[in-house]
Structure 1
Amino acid sequence: MGFADDHLIPLVDEGLGNSAYLLDLGDGRALAMDASRDLRALNATAERRGLRIAFAADTHLHGDFLSGAVQLGHDTGATVLASAAGRRAFAHKALVDGDEVDLGGLTLRALATPGHTDEHLSFLLLDGSREIGVFTGGSLIVNSAARTDLLGPQRTEELARAQYRSLKLLTALPDETAVWPTHGAGSFCSAPPGTERTTTIGAQKHANPLLAAPDEDTFVAQLIASLGTYPAYFDRLGEINRRGPGLLTEQPPLPALSAQQVWALIADGGYVVDVRAAADYAAGHIPGSLSIPLRDQFATWLGWLLPDTAPLVFVTSESQDLSEIVWQAYKIGYERLAGHLRGGMDAWLADGNPQTTTSFLTASRAAGRPYVDVRQESEFAAGHVPGAVHIELGALNDSAADAPTGPVVACGHGERAMTAASLLERAGHTDIAVLDGGPADYTAAQGQRLVTGTEDTRL
């Protein structure tokens, strides 16, 4: 059976900015490409279409999430497809450049495309001799290419040059060939992140600024100049994916804990993570707790700001889904989940325990305080409040002592700023306020205009 457009189902993780793909092979079997350990959406889609996962492929040793390939091999008997150069320590079909896998009517051809990682493969899907599309993982992505600094600064340029050659290889494919990247909008693996998630070879030849570079040196300079910061946990996951993530036989639990048990965990070096909305955290929270609202980006900030070696206890609101906490944590390798506070803050206060509040101010009430912007550098450079101090949220653990006294902390809407305020409170700062809004709200209220650039704004 040949390929039809509705045979390929993208499964987007909005928080990590990634796309996995489920390919219906037309005979009741399917291929999963770059699936994460959180298999809920993939399994539900496969069940809805009556498919069994027969193949689970990974384009590279992922740094931003734990692969679900080993789990799929266990659960469905799927054959795991991955690069031989990755030296994975679990059962898989090891592929090198040019190897082909018969999918039953369709063929998958491995293309060595190093750059994002050493062992990166792209997978070209063929229907007979026709190139249908290519799963490019962390190589060619929409209007860019994936970052090349994840193996350390000493190798960034070398891998950028490899990325240049890999993109030349991919763009030699026919213009009509579909491009199905893993990394996309919102992914810290992108350099820089784009907005669209799929494209074609021909479209990229016209629109991708990196492909317009006149030579390799220019390409390398442009790619490296676009690299921003990335979450600290990226440095750990590649090796875990090489060894193979631990198998799960059931959904991991998140037990209900009493206030006394929470106190004991704090005393034992644990962290309290408050996943309620920013406004709820501001109204009252456990002293020393970290605000990370439960939303699409929860895993990113959990992995960026907290160690994976300490027990974590969560404060939730009654309506929040505990399984969402569990799976977002587990997909990035955070497994020391001690539980959640039974009864939430009401139970905490009823037990006679203290709480702390944080000012959550509208733009008109925030004037007169030092303005600390915790957005990413690219966001800040695109437009910020005049005189703002810039400290990226991911750097705040190391820079908290240098933050100004009595600041208003801001981001785009308030969620990251509340996280930053909670970090500053943990570091001993007092009289902290959070802006309920973003820089455009603030400048409008103060009769100012946003300014661009990054000069003289960092601590």
Structure 2
Amino acid sequence: MGFADDHLVPLVDSGLGNSAYLVDLGDGRALAVDASRDLRALREAAARRGLAVAYAADTHLHADFLSGAVQLAHDDGASILASAAGHRTFEHTPLADGDETDLGGLTLRALATPGHTDEHLSFVLLDGSRELGVFTGGSLIVGSAARTDLLGADRAEELARAQYRSLGRLAGLPDPTPVWPTHGAGSFCSAPPGAERTTTIAAQKRANALLTAPDEDTFVRRLLGSLGSYPAYFGRLSEANRRGPAVLGSAPALPALAPAGLRGLLGRGAHVVDVRPVADFAAGHIPGAVSIPLRDQFATWLGWLLPDDAPLAVVAGPGQDLAEITWQALKIGYERLAGHLDGGMAAWTADGGAQEQIELITADEIAGRPVLDIRQRAEHTAAHIPGAVHIELGDLTTRSGDAPAGAVVACGHGERAMTAASLLRRDGHRGLTVLDGGPADWAEATGRPLKENA
């Protein structure tokens, strides 16, 4: 059994593709690294071990979630450890390259690793002079390094070159050193697919195409060439984390709204987010509602497609977890949660509320209709229905006019396609249908091959 087996608890947010870490310091206290504002899993893990969080370390100013460090300082008295170069406006211990923090037996050493962000730090956890592991945040990750364009496309190459030097520093750690990244598969901060969330320096030296690059220019070309789009809300959260998220009081609740109350909110510019499963939304929904089914990726699409400065009203189905909706919204800075429709769509229609439908069809029903593929560029490039028009879901709010009339909207399974269809319907498109399935189902139904882009 190694240190990680006994003392390290990874806390994976599969929706955002991130890992936070709880480190048992062996004396009833704990270190939290890159904890998000949704502290439920961390608190459960700490309670199981009888731990109090004494330190909260952030590797960088996160763009994809609000940090939980300020909340941990408020609730638990945790000392916040973060880069001095981040110029955070709340109380914290500002760290520079080489600074060490005595955790009471173990030591945390800051290692400047800019690239993903300017002020990025990695944290080497030491027992005396022995490296127990390194928290690499958005620097070295499994199979890659995190994206360098979050501060603007004009700085992407400069930061990629900084990332090259930072990975070189990390590669200088002893080969057996465990690597504990924040970003992993599913993260829009640029992580390749794969099940592994942690790794070692030696494994990355062998298998990471960036670490095996023969020179800096090749590294930069490979890293920048791997970058796809990312959610719109990423542009807001770094500054929110620099200022510090608002401290939350008791567990937030989602108030119940009567149909009349919801109508009043709509008249004042509120957005309706329908979190029910695709089939339920297809059968009947409030006109103008945006379908974002409640699943692990709910926060990503909420933050990509809807504004954070307007009231949000939720339509949920029986048994759906209202607390999960609330926490997913709060962890990405969506504070204006007006409430949920009490009684759901049954109450809405009973009160005379109008509803609309969007037809779901199977792959064998496409029959020559135009297809709109709204998946990410890499997904579309890998394999798509021949002739499909491609517009990423994240671009539809500005490109709805480019969607073909009467399209069959398709993604991998149907959830994102229904989101896209709801946005298009809101913008005036009619005659849309949604593919219940994805390109693989079309290939099986027709016996025809999918197209790959070179």
1: distance between equivalents of 2:425 and 2:213?
46
CA contact (8 A) 2:143 2:191 kept: no
2: distance between equivalents of 1:177 and 1:373?
43
Q: How far 1:263 moved relative to its partner? A: 1.0
User: What per-residue deviation string (whole Å, max 9, x for no partner) do you get for residues 334-369 of structure 1?
Assistant: 000000001000000001111000001111122221
Q: How far 1:211 moved relative to its partner? A: 1.0
Q: How far 1:194 moved relative to its partner? A: 4.5
CA contact (8 A) 1:192 1:226 kept: no
Q: How far 1:448 moved relative to its partner? A: 1.1
Q: How far 1:4 moved relative to its partner? A: 5.5
Q: Secondary structure at the match of 1:236?
A: helix
User: What per-residue deviation string (whole Å, max 9, x for no partner) do you get for residues 267-317 of structure 1?
Assistant: 111100000000100000001100000000000000000000000000000
1:139 partner amino acid: S
The match for 1:387 is 387
CA contact (8 A) 1:364 1:445 kept: yes
Q: Secondary structure at the match of 2:235?
A: helix
Q: Secondary structure at the match of 2:419?
A: helix
User: What per-residue deviation string (whole Å, max 9, x for no partner) do you get for residues 103-154 of structure 1?
Assistant: 1111110000000000000000111111111000000000100000000011
Q: How far 1:3 moved relative to its partner? A: 4.1
The match for 1:204 is 204
2:451 partner amino acid: V
2:267 partner amino acid: A
Given the two structures, how large is their TM-score scaled by the length of structure 2? 0.98
1: distance between equivalents of 2:444 and 2:257?
45
2:203 partner amino acid: A
2:221 partner amino acid: A
CA contact (8 A) 1:192 1:227 kept: no
The match for 1:363 is 363
1: distance between equivalents of 2:351 and 2:61?
47
The match for 1:232 is 232
The match for 1:66 is 66
CA contact (8 A) 2:315 2:340 kept: yes
Change in Cα spacing, 1:42 to 1:191, as seen in structure 2 (3 Å) is closer
The match for 1:373 is 373
Q: Secondary structure at the match of 1:372?
A: strand
1:262 partner amino acid: L
Unaligned 5+ runs, structure 1: 455-459
Tell me which moved more, 185-194 or 60-69: 185-194
2: distance between equivalents of 1:448 and 1:354?
41
2:185 partner amino acid: A
2: distance between equivalents of 1:269 and 1:366?
36
2:428 partner amino acid: G
CA contact (8 A) 1:146 1:189 kept: yes
1: distance between equivalents of 2:20 and 2:6?
15
Change in Cα spacing, 1:193 to 1:62, as seen in structure 2 (3 Å) is farther
User: What per-residue deviation string (whole Å, max 9, x for no partner) do you get for residues 246-277 of structure 1?
Assistant: 00111222111111111111111110000000
Q: Secondary structure at the match of 1:222?
A: helix
The match for 1:252 is 252
The match for 1:96 is 96
2: distance between equivalents of 1:20 and 1:86?
20
Structure 1 residue 415 corresponds to structure 2 residue 408: no
Residues 16-415 of structure 1 mapped to structure 2, 5 A cutoff:
16-415=16-415
Q: Secondary structure at the match of 2:296?
A: coil
Q: How far 1:191 moved relative to its partner? A: 4.7
2: distance between equivalents of 1:266 and 1:214?
57
Q: How far 1:381 moved relative to its partner? A: 1.0
CA contact (8 A) 2:371 2:387 kept: yes
Q: Secondary structure at the match of 2:211?
A: helix
Q: CA RMSD in A?
A: 1.0
CA contact (8 A) 2:114 2:163 kept: yes
1:237 partner amino acid: L
2: distance between equivalents of 1:138 and 1:107?
21
Q: Secondary structure at the match of 1:209?
A: coil
Q: How far 1:437 moved relative to its partner? A: 0.4
Given the two structures, how large is their TM-score scaled by the length of structure 1? 0.97
Structure 1 residue 428 corresponds to structure 2 residue 428: yes
CA contact (8 A) 2:184 2:192 kept: no
Unaligned 5+ runs, structure 2: none
1: distance between equivalents of 2:4 and 2:449?
51
1: distance between equivalents of 2:408 and 2:6?
49
1: distance between equivalents of 2:193 and 2:84?
29
1: distance between equivalents of 2:85 and 2:161?
19
Structure 1 residue 437 corresponds to structure 2 residue 437: yes
Q: Secondary structure at the match of 2:303?
A: helix
1: distance between equivalents of 2:36 and 2:384?
35
The match for 1:15 is 15
Q: How far 1:193 moved relative to its partner? A: 4.9
CA contact (8 A) 2:184 2:191 kept: no
CA contact (8 A) 1:191 1:227 kept: no
CA contact (8 A) 2:89 2:242 kept: yes
2: distance between equivalents of 1:422 and 1:410?
13
CA contact (8 A) 2:141 2:191 kept: no
Change in Cα spacing, 1:82 to 1:235, as seen in structure 2 (3 Å) is same
Change in Cα spacing, 1:4 to 1:331, as seen in structure 2 (3 Å) is closer
2:164 partner amino acid: Y
Q: Secondary structure at the match of 1:445?
A: helix
Q: Secondary structure at the match of 2:124?
A: strand
Q: Secondary structure at the match of 1:197?
A: coil
Q: Secondary structure at the match of 1:211?
A: coil
The match for 1:457 is none
CA contact (8 A) 1:191 1:228 kept: no
2: distance between equivalents of 1:285 and 1:152?
38
1: distance between equivalents of 2:446 and 2:166?
49
